[in-house]
Amino acid sequence: MPDKNGDINTACITGTVAKAADRYAMDVMGLKSLTLMETASSKIAGDYRLFIEEANCRSHGFVLAIDAPSGINTDTGELMGCGIKADVTITFGRNKTGLACGAGQNLAGRVLVEDIGIPDEAYIEAEKHL
């Protein structure tokens, strides 16, 4: 069971996604929701892989990726075993390199970048440590 902070973070992200969907006039009725807790550095395997492969075979529905499609390394665009084919990806802060190259470019669909209030100075400081 998530702690209070997890519940708050989930509510904040859900609210941000709802606002972004509204802003871009996206019809979210009947939206297929896919949330897989896989890290970008591990290969998709087992039940997660079966689920993604099955979802990709279906031609109906709408797939919205939150931050990045499952199975894509957001730094490199590398396919991590398999990946979900999204119609739209809503990513946060700034666009991710991995959504514009490699398999990520093919799987992300239309990419929408949602501002979440991270100042440019924070990105500049973070890049110094890469």
Q: Is the pLDDT of residue 23 over 80?
A: no
Best-predicted range by mean pLDDT among 9-13, 14-18, 121-125? Answer: 121-125
pLDDT of residue 88: 93
- How many helices (H) and strands (E) the chain has is answered by 4, 3
Q: What is the mean pLDDT of the chain?
A: 76
pLDDT of residue 52: 85
The region of weakest confidence among 31-35, 37-41, 64-68, 118-122 is 31-35
Which residues, including other chains, have CB under 8 Å from residue 63's CB and lie 6 or more apart? 32, 34, 55, 84, 85, 86, 87, 88, 109
Over residues 42-84, the pLDDT tens digits come to 788 888 888 888 888 876 778 889 999 989 999 999 999 999 9
